[in-house]
Structure 1
Amino acid sequence: MKLILPATFLFLLYLSPLNLYAQQTAKINGIVNDGKETLPAATILLYTAKDSILVTTAMTDQNGIYSFTTANGKYYIVSSSIGYNKVKTPSFDLNGTMDFQVPPITLKENSKKLNEVSIVATKPVLERRADKLIFNIEATPSASGLTALEVLRKAPGVTIDHNENISLAGKSNVLVTIDGKQTYLSSTEVVNLLKSMQSNEIESIEIINNPGSKYDANSTGGIINIKTKKSKAEGFNGSVALTGGFNKHLLTNNSINLNYRKKDFNVFGSYGINRQEYNQELKIDRITPGTNPLYFKQRNKDTTINASQNFKIGSDFFLSKNHTIGFLVKGNISDYKGGSLSNVNIGKSFDVTDSVLITPSYTKSNRKNFSYNLNYKGVIDTAGQEISLDADYSTFDGSNNSNYINRFFLPDGTFFKNGQIYRNSTASNIDIKAIKADYVLPLNKKFKLDAGVKIANVKSDNNYIYENDIQGSWVFDDTKSNRFLYDESVSAAYATLNITMGKTSIQGGLRAEHTKSTGNSVTTNQLTEKEYTDLFPSLLVSQNFDADNNLNFSYSRKINRPNYQNLNPFIFFLDQYTYNQGNPNLKPEYSSNLQVSYLFKQKYSAALAYSHTSDVISQVLLQNEAKKSMYQTVLNLASENVLSLTLNFPVTLTKWWNMNNNLLGYFKQIKSPDLNGANLNSEQVSANIYLQNNFKINDLFSADAAFVFSTPQIEGAFKVKSIFTTDAGFRYNFPNKNGNLKLGISDIFHSQKAYIYSTLPGNIYNLEQAGTTRSARLTFTYRFGKMTVKSARNRSTGLDDEQKRLGSK
């Protein structure tokens, strides 16, 4: 079933004798050269001839070819490339019934040397496409020196809660990919990876609210794709970025990128190292349920140090003009050290304390994640028939060691007794294998078929060892220790048909996925087996009324499978009365998503979306009446409905001041009829406001300032009060254009604090969390070598869905 279904599906699609007809698309084609050879990676800008409005942008491929599909009208093109003078073409008319071939554009090399070349066509901070919103990092000086997670907090529509769970347009369970490749890591490990990445490695962040069938179905909350920078030079070139800063502690981020390209091959690599130190304060006030409630007033102070290294090395070999084979190796190594002091006042009211529990703890963990990719891309004929193959292997090895000492004191500070003194260690080993094939078949100039298959397998081995201190000796506790093995295989096949009829384009797709999983809690002899097959249809209809007006409708069905570590039944303690526990009985969640979007002048957009999710996978904070404990776990809630409206509109106030504005308003409803013995029915109208100001002082100096505000929001069984943050940045470009200095200041007013309380009846708590989010960083970036180079080939591997799910703690 796993192999035969997708292979047969793709084979039948390949042989399909379809003979389809439709009205010819309006298309612009062209080629760019330098008088001797074609120019890859040249920038192409399409403008309306009447009022010089930028319609769309493109970049030439490795053969110097570009193409646009657009509405009837009169246009001209501006082409440029680093090291060459820009060229503007004469105006031309596009009739829509015939493809238009632009005469070859010849760029002349700038005679003033590279250090006098000025780079044109600066990207805006936000770009709206039919199916995605693009957040360009290079256009945001305040993002300089930040980690990828900190940059993600700036992205419009993205929220990150107190537990560092990522939500998009009010929906959780977001799939985070890097260069279109799934990490296959758990939500916690994805966050750790983003903390180890640096902003100077990132070109842009793509926000895809309603992905189609070509994407992995495991994305009920949408997709956030982080695109890393690629070199655009032939010969040898590179760049270095050095960052120093402070947030009460010294911070550092440093990286180097190198690229060497010749006619037949391209070799590229990067290495980064950073060290971050943070403080965090956590306050929890809670009342235990029952006839004799206890009042817990808990205060935690944490200090964490995270040091990480990441690298990438790869090569592309150009076997011929149409066939390329390559390999890519990526790695991330991080070391985490943390110390915590928990102080809990326990009594019959918040004002009367009977005893005090003090728990110092220490945690040390190491993580190593390596991935290997072998890939091939072939252009079969001049009609555009293509095939791409990817084989991937990824490993994750992690260890976590923690020590806890619980001691009780009387209110006057007198020692009363020892509580539980224990330590635990966890070893996690995960192996991921995947192979995928994608095929593009232009049936004629009006119809195109995309199809593909993918097979992925994940094996994880997690061994949790719990020991108690009994009279000075460590004794193994078999009631809390556990070994958990997990094995999951997913086979998938998809087909997408693209139809263009004049100004209307339709993309209909269907994805089939077969899943088989086995969870084995070795210590408790608990075996959980699941096997199921699902179909995931998608539809995108796009209507271009004219060059300025575009309307899109999309539908998709998605699945979100539980994170691997969330299935572990392990218990991790914060103190004797506060812990985190996994859930091996989690089921996948399913969502249906609808969206209507309108795009005006390629700049202004509005999107109305609705999603319904069943068996919602959600983190919840609950209380155990018998143990008087509070614990965090992951459960399936009955349903979640989200109705949202997103507005994006840039505003040019003066020649030197422009704004990018993104407003999100949404209504969310969460239901779960029997949650810890209570009925959860929570509703909330929320809004996120993102205002980005950009200032061009002169050719050398620029600045930006951003304001992000979120009204109260609900998530699972809790509510988060309103929160805002303000950032600012300054950039100085060196006159020779080879480098720059950037100063970024984050959370200027230190307002990024989370205030949370329960929405579940009888589950009473208030939580406040704040850390060292205010920081200042200075980044020096320098580029060297030849800067007129072709870019490294971008590809997406077969590990794009599984790494996300390595699990939470």
Structure 2
Amino acid sequence: MKTLYTTLFLVIFYLVPSSLFAQESVELNGLIKDDKQTLPSATVLLYAAKDSSLVSTAITNGDGKYLIHAKTGNYYIVATSIGYNKISTKVISLNGEKTHTVPTITLAETTRSLNEVVVTSTKPVLERRADKLVFNIDATPSAAGLNALEVLKKAPGVVVDHNENISLSGKSNVLVTLDGKQTYLSQEEVVNLLKSMQSSEIESIEIMNNPGARYEANATGGVINIKTKKSKADGFNGSVALGGGYNKRPSSNNSINLNLRKKAVNVFGSYGYYTSEYEEHLEIDRITPGSANRLFFSQRNNDSSKNHSQNFKIGTDFFLSKNHTVGLLVKGNIGDWKQRGYSVTNIGSSFERADSVLKTPSNSGRDRKNFSYNINYKGVLDTAGQEITIDADYSSYDGENDAFYQNRFFLPDGSFFKDGQIYRNFAPSSINIKAIKADYVLPLSKAFKLEAGIKFASVESDNNFIFENQVGDGWLIDANRSNRFKYSEEVGAAYTTLSATLGKFSFQAGLRAENTHSIGTSVTLNEVVDRNYTNLFPSLFVSRNFNADNILNFSYSRKINRPNYQNLNPFIFYLDQYTYNQGNPNLRPEFANNFEATYLFKQKYSIALAYSHTSDIITQILLQNAALNSMYQTTLNLATDEVFSLTLNFPITFTKWWNVNNNILAYHKQLKAPNLNGYDLNSSQFTGNIYMQHNFTLSPLFSADAGIFYSTPQIDGAYNLNTFFTSDAGLRYNFPNKNGNLKLGVSDVFHSQKPRITSTLEGNEYDLKQWGTTRAVRLTFTYRFGKSTVKSERSRKTGLDDEQKRLGQ
């Protein structure tokens, strides 16, 4: 930590002053806003007054600020942004001063009907900004009809493995947020939520490898923010999307969005319904540990599942005045999942010779209800930009999980040998989350801005696992396998950030403090784990703007990842007699230090170097229990995880109708864990990912795309994932009246999503293959109706931005 503070001191007190003395041109700086908020990503054009020649360009940052360098002379500025009228300033005279602040430029929103506008350009598939990579979904026809998880798989640097764990640039434990709001769901529940969302609801995916202090500290692997579409019209309007697909079995996805906006109030809502059927196949060959009496297990699983989900949102914004807004928001997600499985396991002294065959038919299901409620306030306190936002949230989750398994043994010739264990389990759970947060912004001067915030969140969960064995014609509770687990957690957080623009440098230094008090109670085992800890999380962002075309950024942050609630539950969940899942009440939080340097050229080409060091990394792992001849999955703390990465992002335009977005990620990962299941783990792997998105403009009405993703072998925890390849393609037709479109998408064109997993841990021998009906064809119809006058809508975050991610259901 002392080294870090020394580095900060040198940066602020040495590099900054030296850069100020080196100025050779006048710096123009200013702010772009509308009547409610500052405008990021607005375009600023500087023209010479004498001949109207273009001198320089700039893009506003996340705070709506811009910086341009020019020689002495007379100029004028033209500012514009999507959905706003272009505006020109009066002539600006630069007479040798070092800096010149342009009066704030306020853009007026476009009021023409979209039916009168001829669209001549579209957003690119990928946009590289200073602190994030933006993946625009509407520019990708092959995304039509996909759910949000399937769309996420197409995002550069994002990998969703065979267990549906999400990683970013080789780092796991990624924080997934919706519209900047944390879901507070566990990894599994985040996946279920993403499966219930449709691509027609998503505007873009923002990928942030190194978020600052304002973001939740619980994000060691970075942040993936999914921005949903919002109505931007004054008056009444809406849209409807109808979709169907086929992947050996039919699927359906439908949604409707409505918006009514008047001067003093805005009412909006949406509803979506999704249903799908899916097949999955799993092959596991494993050898029990040890040198004597080794058993060989060859397991084959065939599962079929049905999923139904509904999600809705309804909200109201009350514009009390020009500068004060109060809002209410209610969201819900209801779903059920049913699965029928059949497993056949050959057991013997070799893979070629089976002494017995275990057959396990099974039925399992999961029902869930998740509701969240938000009250929010935003106030702009003065014209200088001083503002405050307050959010109060409550969220409830109720789930029911049940399963039935029948184990029967047969001889190799197929004749019945004996009955094994016949059991069933029920696992009801309930989770309640409360949070309140406040954020304050105070401009100290034209060059400095202070931000601060506080948050308090409390979580209470109650999980009951009831395990019953069949005895005769009845059922008897197995007290050794049943367990009730209760968990409570309180997190208090405070942060402050100081932003500054000094010459060609921009700085943002932040510090976040969090105190966590958690109590995990195994009621059945009468065991209590009580923890109380306080941590500091510094962050630093430095940007050097050489000119409009060359920008260099550096960032650092320290993050934490707390165990999700369900992984702390010590219960054992059996899949069959020799396969189970076990919780770990002794899990500790992991801590990561992340560094990244990014060079931007012409706002579209970039190269990024990053390094991440994580201690006590929380990892899902497959191990074998030699005493029970069983294989089980659990979650452990490994010692360290180090990742060095290089990311290249560069678009290529071949012709007016064909361009390609390219993203290349190369990283080296090393994992260490002493005495893991009796062995020392020390594995490393160099991995390369290539993502290419080809876009074709066939005519004013037709467009197409084709995406390719390829990954060399990679490691995660104690397993190795083999080479991975997938591709998608899509075709889009826009109706001439601009009110709708028709999209045809094909996912996993070559049916190549068949991951193969092997162990990297000595003495833990297994070979796992998994694949499903990932190749699918989907057709989606979207229609917009009502008034289409462009009108900006405010954006906001709720207080539930951390805890739901960890529900663990």
TM over 0.5: yes
Indicate the residue corresponding to 1:7 in structure 2.
Answer: none
Compute the displacement of 1:118 (Å).
Answer: 2.4
Compute the displacement of 1:677 (Å).
Answer: 0.3
Gap change, CA 1:268 and 1:94, over 3 Å in 2? farther
Alignment of 1:72 with 2:74, yes or no, is: no
Indicate the residue corresponding to 1:435 in structure 2.
Answer: 436
Gap change, CA 1:442 and 1:76, over 3 Å in 2? closer
> After superposition, what is the alpha-carbon deviation per residue over 1:33-86, rounded to whole angstroms, capped at 9, x for unaligned?
9xxxx9999995335666799743689xxxxxx94412325786464766x9x6
Q: Distance in 1 between matches of 2:649 and 2:445?
A: 36
Gap change, CA 1:457 and 1:26, over 3 Å in 2? farther
> After superposition, what is the alpha-carbon deviation per residue over 1:644-696, rounded to whole angstroms, capped at 9, x for unaligned?
00010111111111111000000000000110000100000001110011111
Q: Distance in 1 between matches of 2:104 and 2:614?
A: 48
Give 2:662's aligned amino acid: N
> After superposition, what is the alpha-carbon deviation per residue over 1:507-551, rounded to whole angstroms, capped at 9, x for unaligned?
101000000000000001011110000000011111000000000
Alignment of 1:45 with 2:48, yes or no, is: no
Indicate the residue corresponding to 2:130 in structure 1.
Answer: 130
| Contact 1:310–1:333 (CA under 8 A) maintained in structure 2 | yes
Q: Distance in 2 between matches of 1:255 and 1:231?
A: 14
Indicate the residue corresponding to 1:726 in structure 2.
Answer: 727
> After superposition, what is the alpha-carbon deviation per residue over 1:346-386, rounded to whole angstroms, capped at 9, x for unaligned?
00000001000000000111011100000000011111111
| Contact 1:25–1:446 (CA under 8 A) maintained in structure 2 | no
Compute the displacement of 1:559 (Å).
Answer: 0.5
| Contact 2:708–2:726 (CA under 8 A) maintained in structure 1 | yes
Alignment of 1:56 with 2:59, yes or no, is: yes
Q: Distance in 2 between matches of 1:131 and 1:273?
A: 34
Q: Distance in 2 between matches of 1:125 and 1:680?
A: 40
Gap change, CA 1:602 and 1:361, over 3 Å in 2? same
Indicate the residue corresponding to 2:5 in structure 1.
Answer: none
Alignment of 1:27 with 2:29, yes or no, is: yes
Find the residue that maps to 2:138 and give its secondary structure. coil
Indicate the residue corresponding to 2:251 in structure 1.
Answer: 251
Q: Distance in 1 between matches of 2:110 and 2:134?
A: 31
Gap change, CA 1:737 and 1:77, over 3 Å in 2? farther
Gap change, CA 1:778 and 1:54, over 3 Å in 2? farther
Q: Distance in 2 between matches of 1:104 and 1:553?
A: 31
Compute the displacement of 1:152 (Å).
Answer: 0.3
> After superposition, what is the alpha-carbon deviation per residue over 1:589-631, rounded to whole angstroms, capped at 9, x for unaligned?
0111111111110000011000111101000000000000000
Q: Distance in 1 between matches of 2:538 and 2:328?
A: 32
Bigger mean CA deviation after superposition, 788-797 or 128-137 = 788-797
Q: Distance in 2 between matches of 1:465 and 1:756?
A: 32
| Contact 1:645–1:666 (CA under 8 A) maintained in structure 2 | yes
Alignment of 1:223 with 2:223, yes or no, is: yes
Give 1:144's aligned amino acid: A
| Contact 1:618–1:635 (CA under 8 A) maintained in structure 2 | yes
| Contact 1:752–1:770 (CA under 8 A) maintained in structure 2 | yes
| Contact 1:642–1:669 (CA under 8 A) maintained in structure 2 | yes
Please, what TM-score do these two structures have when normalized by structure 1? 0.92
| Contact 1:43–1:79 (CA under 8 A) maintained in structure 2 | no
Indicate the residue corresponding to 1:8 in structure 2.
Answer: none
Alignment of 1:532 with 2:526, yes or no, is: no
Q: How does 1:212-291 map to 2 (within 5 A)?
A: 212-290=212-290, 291=292
Q: Distance in 1 between matches of 2:358 and 2:778?
A: 39
Q: Distance in 2 between matches of 1:58 and 1:552?
A: 13
Q: Kindly, what percent of the aligned residue pairs are identical?
A: 64
| Contact 2:42–2:64 (CA under 8 A) maintained in structure 1 | no
| Contact 2:39–2:64 (CA under 8 A) maintained in structure 1 | no
Gap change, CA 1:734 and 1:335, over 3 Å in 2? same
Gap change, CA 1:105 and 1:431, over 3 Å in 2? closer
Compute the displacement of 1:699 (Å).
Answer: 1.1
Compute the displacement of 1:123 (Å).
Answer: 1.2
Gap change, CA 1:94 and 1:261, over 3 Å in 2? farther
Bigger mean CA deviation after superposition, 442-451 or 88-97 = 88-97
Compute the displacement of 1:571 (Å).
Answer: 1.4
Gap change, CA 1:323 and 1:679, over 3 Å in 2? same
Indicate the residue corresponding to 1:3 in structure 2.
Answer: none
Q: Distance in 1 between matches of 2:105 and 2:39?
A: 18
Gap change, CA 1:478 and 1:39, over 3 Å in 2? closer
Compute the displacement of 1:308 (Å).
Answer: 0.2
Indicate the residue corresponding to 2:155 in structure 1.
Answer: 155
Give 1:198's aligned amino acid: Q
Q: Distance in 2 between matches of 1:758 and 1:387?
A: 51
Compute the displacement of 1:502 (Å).
Answer: 1.3
Q: Distance in 1 between matches of 2:274 and 2:31?
A: 45
Compute the displacement of 1:738 (Å).
Answer: 0.4
Q: Distance in 1 between matches of 2:106 and 2:213?
A: 36
Indicate the residue corresponding to 2:568 in structure 1.
Answer: 567
Q: Count residues with an aligned counterpart.
A: 775
Indicate the residue corresponding to 2:194 in structure 1.
Answer: 194
Indicate the residue corresponding to 1:596 in structure 2.
Answer: 597
Compute the displacement of 1:173 (Å).
Answer: 0.4
Compute the displacement of 1:471 (Å).
Answer: 1.0
Compute the displacement of 1:296 (Å).
Answer: 0.2
| Contact 1:493–1:513 (CA under 8 A) maintained in structure 2 | yes
Q: Distance in 2 between matches of 1:523 and 1:404?
A: 23
Alignment of 1:707 with 2:704, yes or no, is: no
Gap change, CA 1:108 and 1:657, over 3 Å in 2? same
Indicate the residue corresponding to 2:508 in structure 1.
Answer: 507
Give 2:332's aligned amino acid: G
Indicate the residue corresponding to 1:176 in structure 2.
Answer: 176
> After superposition, what is the alpha-carbon deviation per residue over 1:140-178, rounded to whole angstroms, capped at 9, x for unaligned?
111111000000000000001110000000000000010
| Contact 1:41–1:81 (CA under 8 A) maintained in structure 2 | no
Find the residue that maps to 2:142 and give its secondary structure. helix
Q: Distance in 2 between matches of 1:94 and 1:750?
A: 63
Gap change, CA 1:274 and 1:299, over 3 Å in 2? same
Q: Distance in 1 between matches of 2:203 and 2:287?
A: 47
Q: Distance in 2 between matches of 1:805 and 1:561?
A: 8
Q: Distance in 1 between matches of 2:601 and 2:179?
A: 28
Find the residue that maps to 2:68 and give its secondary structure. coil
Gap change, CA 1:268 and 1:382, over 3 Å in 2? same
Q: Distance in 1 between matches of 2:563 and 2:454?
A: 22
> After superposition, what is the alpha-carbon deviation per residue over 1:751-774, rounded to whole angstroms, capped at 9, x for unaligned?
011100000000000000000111
Indicate the residue corresponding to 1:98 in structure 2.
Answer: 100
Q: Distance in 1 between matches of 2:583 and 2:794?
A: 40
Q: How does 1:606-755 map to 2 (within 5 A)?
A: 606-755=607-756
Compute the displacement of 1:121 (Å).
Answer: 4.7
Compute the displacement of 1:93 (Å).
Answer: 6.8
Q: Distance in 1 between matches of 2:40 and 2:687?
A: 43
Compute the displacement of 1:789 (Å).
Answer: 3.9
Gap change, CA 1:622 and 1:386, over 3 Å in 2? same
Q: Distance in 1 between matches of 2:44 and 2:116?
A: 26
Bigger mean CA deviation after superposition, 787-796 or 190-199 = 787-796
Q: Distance in 2 between matches of 1:81 and 1:575?
A: 56
| Contact 1:283–1:299 (CA under 8 A) maintained in structure 2 | yes
Q: Distance in 2 between matches of 1:547 and 1:432?
A: 46
> After superposition, what is the alpha-carbon deviation per residue over 1:737-790, rounded to whole angstroms, capped at 9, x for unaligned?
000001111000000111000000000000000001111111100001111142
Structure 2's unaligned 5+ residue stretches are: 1-15, 21-25, 48-52
Structure 1's unaligned 5+ residue stretches are: 1-19, 60-65
Gap change, CA 1:505 and 1:301, over 3 Å in 2? same
> After superposition, what is the alpha-carbon deviation per residue over 1:376-407, rounded to whole angstroms, capped at 9, x for unaligned?
00011111111100000000100011000000
| Contact 1:238–1:258 (CA under 8 A) maintained in structure 2 | yes
Give 1:289's aligned amino acid: P
Gap change, CA 1:509 and 1:599, over 3 Å in 2? same
Compute the displacement of 1:117 (Å).
Answer: 2.4
Q: Distance in 2 between matches of 1:94 and 1:282?
A: 71
Q: Distance in 2 between matches of 1:526 and 1:465?
A: 18
Q: Distance in 1 between matches of 2:572 and 2:775?
A: 33
Bigger mean CA deviation after superposition, 92-101 or 219-228 = 92-101
Find the residue that maps to 2:567 and give its secondary structure. helix
Indicate the residue corresponding to 1:339 in structure 2.
Answer: 340
Give me the CA root mean square deviation.
2.3
